[in-house]
């Protein structure tokens, strides 16, 4: 007989706070009722605060992939040229979607462990004198490799060469967890998902859309129906949707937005950094292990992809953790399968939960054949949490 709870340390879906779970436990309701906007209209305003935008945030039933598709279909035409980089499974999937939707894709392949190559972007954009490139795509946080890229630097590069392309950002595993400023950074389309920093079940995607992107939608776009901006624009201002919305998720989102406001976005960012750094210090103490991210400039504060020691199959680490210790780690994806296990550290998380993940990791690694000293990573994380970044500690405690 198994006792206790399962420990979830995949980078999404993340743990759902009890307040959010309880908030979703409501009867079915009429999504055409006169007062339905009392529930939904404040959600649009709350999302704008999280995205840090004065423009619009659409909500679609579906995963973040749906919002990816909406961003492309509503603002670009078949044959349009885009600039994108590929450095992990999720940036690869975005490239794949763009190609399948008929875009002319200029893809820069980057070592898995690094992020968006800003200098190369600038060179390509500067050489594009006739402005054939209509969209610049950035994955802010590559979940497969635990890499975060500098979105603001991409905007600076675009502005420096005077390029008018739209800036698209995948923020599924970063928005509401890692610093993001849509308007300040000049992001035109930003994609998020309910199952990450918003601490909800999967099934709701969010898409921040700038005024510039709304103008692009007026003059072009591919054939679309389910993801049409125009259909949303006709109804959202009154709190309604062009099809049956996920009402229970709306109730959960209302509570998660309250939690985010109570803690404060800047405190959330500081907490995620503090917890992530504890994991990173633990990994540095584990003999034979290292992060997939090739340097601190790429470190993600929402997920750490950990390369297992030579001769150790990361799949065994994951299986031992799940079967024996009831903990779920993220698997290595694509070329990283069997090489990497991932610890997700985002959403509803604290130091005690991270310490459990690290302690079980040490046991699972040893049972899989690694020579990791028991307690080494735990001690390194303890030292960080006790004596580390005092500024982050102070901010998180406010």
- pLDDT at residue 389, rounded to an integer: 64
Q: What is the pLDDT of residues 18-29, one digit of tens each?
A: 999 999 999 999
What would the CATH number be for the domain defined by 7-13+264-397? 3.90.1150.10
Q: For 333, list phi and psi in degrees, rounded to 5.
A: -110, 140
Q: What is the pLDDT of residues 290-333, one digit of tens each?
A: 999 999 999 999 999 999 999 999 999 999 999 999 999 999 99
- pLDDT at residue 397, rounded to an integer: 47
Question: Could you tell me the pTM of the whole model?
Answer: 0.95
Residues 6 or more apart whose CB falls under 8 angstroms from that of 10 comprise 328, 329, 330, 342, 344
Cβ pair 388, 271 in contact under 8 A = no
CA distance 18 to 5: 14
Beta carbons within 10 angstroms of residue 391's beta carbon: 10
The half-sphere exposure of 182 on its side-chain side, counting CA atoms within 13 A, is 31
Q: C-alpha distances in angstroms, 312 versus 307, 322, 372, 378?
A: 9, 17, 12, 20
Least Cα distance to 305 among 217, 269, 314, 352 occurs for 314
Cβ pair 7, 327 in contact under 8 A = yes
Q: Compute CA 177 distance to the chain's CA centroid, rounded to the nearest angstrom.
A: 8
Sheet bearing 327-331, strands edge to edge = 7-9, 327-331, 340-344, 303-307, 290-291
**Rg (the chain; Cα; Å):** 21
Question: In the chain, which residues have pLDDT < 70?
Answer: 1, 389-398
CA distance 48 to 284: 38
For the chain, domain boundaries:
7-13+264-397, 18-262
**Best CATH choice for the domain 18-262 from the list 1.10.150.20, 3.40.710.10, 3.40.640.10, 3.90.470.10:** 3.40.640.10
Cβ pair 17, 201 in contact under 8 A = no
């Amino acid at each position: 007989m198994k006792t206790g709870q399962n420990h979830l340390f995949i980078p999404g879906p993340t743990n759902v706070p009890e307040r959010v779970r309880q908030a979703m436990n409501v009867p079915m309701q009429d999504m055409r009722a006169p007062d339905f906007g009392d529930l939904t209209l404040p959600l649009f305003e709350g999302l704008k605060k999280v995205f840090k935008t004065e423009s619009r945030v659409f909500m679609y039933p579906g995963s973040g992939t749906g919002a990816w598709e909406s961003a492309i279909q509503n603002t670009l035409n078949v044959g349009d040229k885009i600039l994108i980089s590929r450095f992990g499974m999720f940036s690869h999937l975005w490239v794949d979607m763009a190609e399948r939707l008929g875009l002319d894709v200029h893809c820069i392949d980057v070592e898995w462990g690094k992020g968006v190559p800003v200098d190369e972007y600038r060179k390509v954009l500067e050489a594009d004198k006739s402005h054939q490139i209509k969209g610049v795509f950035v994955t802010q946080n590559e979940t497969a490799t635990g890499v975060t890229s500098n979105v603001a630097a991409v905007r600076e590069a675009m502005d420096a060469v005077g390029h008018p392309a739209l800036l698209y950002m995948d923020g599924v595993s970063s928005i509401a967890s890692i610093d993001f400023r849509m308007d300040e950074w000049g992001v035109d389309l930003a994609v998020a998902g309910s199952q990450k920093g918003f601490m909800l079940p999967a099934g709701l995607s969010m898409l921040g859309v700038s005024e510039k992107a709304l103008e692009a939608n007026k003059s072009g776009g591919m054939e679309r129906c389910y993801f049409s901006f125009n259909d949303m624009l006709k109804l959202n201002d009154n709190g309604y949707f062009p099809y049956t919305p996920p009402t229970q998720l709306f109730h959960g989102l209302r509570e998660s937005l309250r939690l985010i406001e109570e803690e404060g976005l800047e405190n959330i960012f500081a907490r995620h950094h503090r917890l992530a750094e504890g994991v990173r210090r633990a990994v540095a103490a584990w003999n034979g292990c290292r992060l997939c991210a090739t340097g601190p400039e790429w470190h993600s504060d929402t997920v750490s992809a950990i390369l297992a020691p030579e001769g150790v199959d990361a799949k065994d680490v994951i299986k031992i953790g799940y079967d024996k210790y009831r903990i779920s780690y993220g698997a290595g994806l694509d070329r990283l399968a069997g090489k990497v296990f991932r610890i997700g550290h985002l959403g509803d998380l604290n130091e005690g939960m991270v310490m459990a993940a690290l302690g079980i990791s040490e046991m699972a690694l040893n049972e899989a054949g690694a020579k990791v000293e028991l307690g080494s990573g735990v001690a390194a994380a303890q030292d960080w949490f006790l004596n580390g970044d005092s500024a982050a500690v102070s901010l998180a405690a406010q």
